Amino acid sequence: MAALAETASTTPPAFHFLPIDSLLHPGYPAGVKSFSSRIIQWQQRHGRHTLPWQGSRDPYRIWLSEIMLQQTQVATVIPYFERFIARFPDLTSLAAAHEDEVLALWSGLGYYSRARNLHAAAGAIAERNNGEFPATADAIAHLPGIGRSTAAAIAALAFGQRCAILDGNVKRVLARHGGIAGWPGDRKVETALWQRAELHLPHTDIEPYTQGMMDLGAMICTRSRPACASCPISADCIANRQQRTAELPAPRPRKVLPEKRVQMLLLLDRGELMLEKRPARGIWGGLWSLPEIDPEADPTSHCRDHFGLTALTHQPMPQFSHSFTHFKLHIQPARIHLAPRNSTLAGQIWLPLADALDAALPAPVRKLVALLEHQAIQLTPACKPSGNATIAE
Ligand code: SF4
């Protein structure tokens, strides 16, 4: 059946309007098996079989892994996955959790909308679907935070549904194998890649095929050094034959990222650090973070005017930068020791440094808090003059 499905590739599809230079695939060389059967065989022999979310068809575990793996490498995901599963072993426990706890377990993994959507989707399934995970790619794709490729991966791996995936790794494999030019983020190129992904789908063994495509992109057809000599589809790979692996797929068109500057205030009162809850939407939505002020603003005045707090010392810390997808943020941290406060404003918490590290913090804030804790700073006010002291960190 797989051979039947792929025989269609010899018919020139109506792609002639696309920026593609070799869709007229010449077919498989003599003695070469179909694309999908080579992927399946390779996955069974050389692919990954012992990842913590494998060996089970539990859609909850597969869903969680697929969301964590978006924009993130397997080695980074594994400890996060294991901690998350230990705390929330099933959909019911996740649905019942407070968002703060979900975000805290996600803290450091980045792209926090993934965690908020995961939590929202668990709530929606528990409420509207009696806790039953939807079993088709179409239904899965209606859940918050799940796109077409992720829905297909869950449906294929958990329910054996025959549907194509197209994550970043698979785009790279298909663009190279099919000699598809252009940036995969471009709509027309992406459409061509989806067509290739569907064309190659086998009629059986969809799970090892889906896993094989992911594994091949991650382990063999890597971005900078593809191991073509070990690749099961090298015989008819256009990029390999034409020595174009360095140019395919085309990179994202270069764009100069805008830059922003901000001061972050580490406000300390008798060993406790003040954190503010970020708005639910936007950068670091729903996380606990540090108060931010304009780069030119005076932290001492800001503490007095906005928080009713008296700054005793103001110690600038070394500046650093953090890159987001759409801009670069230059952060000037300032450590400020305060006179004892009288109250706590809404949306704020005060935590000992060690406890603050357990909160749902953005990665750069976590680094700053860890730095303060590591240095075991003197938390009692040193009564230095405010404004211009610099500390060697
Ligand atoms: S032959 Fe090389 S470039 Fe082609 S798919 Fe395999 S690893 Fe990628």
Query: How confident is the model at residue 339, as a pLDDT?
Result: 95
In this predicted structure, the answer to whether residue 320 has a pLDDT above a threshold of 90 is yes
* Residue 277: CB atoms within 10 Å: 15
Tokens of 6: 């792929």
Residue 218 CA, ligand 1 centroid: distance in Å: 12
Residue 232 CA, ligand 1 centroid: distance in Å: 8
233 lines ligand 1 (CB under 6 A): yes
226 lines ligand 1 (CB under 6 A): yes
Summarize pLDDT for 244-291 with one digit per residue, the tens: 999 999 999 888 889 999 999 999 999 999 999 999 888 898 899 999
Query: How confident is the model at residue 303, as a pLDDT?
Result: 95
Q: How does residue 384 score in pLDDT terms, banded at 50, 70 and 90? A: very low
Exposed / middle / buried, residue 54 (Cβ in 10 Å: 0-12, 13-18, 19+):
middle
- Structural domains in the chain, CATH included, are 2-241 (1.10.340.30), 259-374 (3.90.79.10)
Average pLDDT over residues 165-171: 96
Residue 233 CA, ligand 1 centroid: distance in Å: 7
Annotated catalytic residue, options 6, 66, 207, 272: 66
In this predicted structure, the answer to whether residue 381 has a pLDDT above a threshold of 70 is no
Q: Which of 377, 379, 222 is nearest to 312 (CA)?
A: 379
Residue 348 CA, ligand 1 centroid: distance in Å: 52
259 is annotated as an active-site residue: no
Q: Which residues of 58-93 are buried (b: 16+ CB within 10 A; e: fewer)?
A: bbbbbbbbbbbbeeeebeebeebbeebbeebeebee
Q: How far is CA 227 from CA 167, 222, 231, in A?
A: 20, 8, 6
Tokens of 176: 């190279």
Integer-rounded Cα Rg, in Å, for the chain is 26
Taking the CA of residue 66 as centre, how many other CA atoms within 13 Å lie in the half-sphere pointing to its CB?
30
Pocket perturbation via mutation, ligand 1, pick of 221, 224, 242 by most ligand atoms within 8 A of CB: 221
Residue 173 CA, ligand 1 centroid: distance in Å: 7
Q: Is this structure's pTM higher than 0.85?
A: no
Pocket perturbation via mutation, ligand 1, pick of 32, 172, 231 by most ligand atoms within 8 A of CB: 231
The ligand 1 atom at the shortest distance from the C-alpha of residue 234 is 1
Q: How does residue 29 score in pLDDT terms, banded at 50, 70 and 90? A: low
239 lines ligand 1 (CB under 6 A): yes
256 contact partners, CB below 8 Å, separation of at least 6: none
| Contact of 99 with 117, CB cutoff 8 Å | no
Find the Cα–Cα–Cα–Cα dihedral 86, 87, 92, 98, rounded to 10°.
Answer: -160
Average pLDDT over residues 293-317: 94
In this predicted structure, the answer to whether residue 377 has a pLDDT above a threshold of 60 is no
Q: In this predicted structure, which of 80-89, 145-154, 278-287 has the lowest mean pLDDT?
A: 278-287
173 lines ligand 1 (CB under 6 A): yes
Q: Which of 149, 151, 354, 346 is nearest to 272 (CA)?
A: 354
Query: How confident is the model at residue 216, as a pLDDT?
Result: 98
211 lines ligand 1 (CB under 6 A): no
Q: How does residue 225 score in pLDDT terms, banded at 50, 70 and 90? A: very high
The ligand 1 atom at the shortest distance from the C-alpha of residue 220 is 7
Q: In the predicted model, what is the mean pLDDT of the chain?
A: 87
Q: How does residue 324 score in pLDDT terms, banded at 50, 70 and 90? A: confident
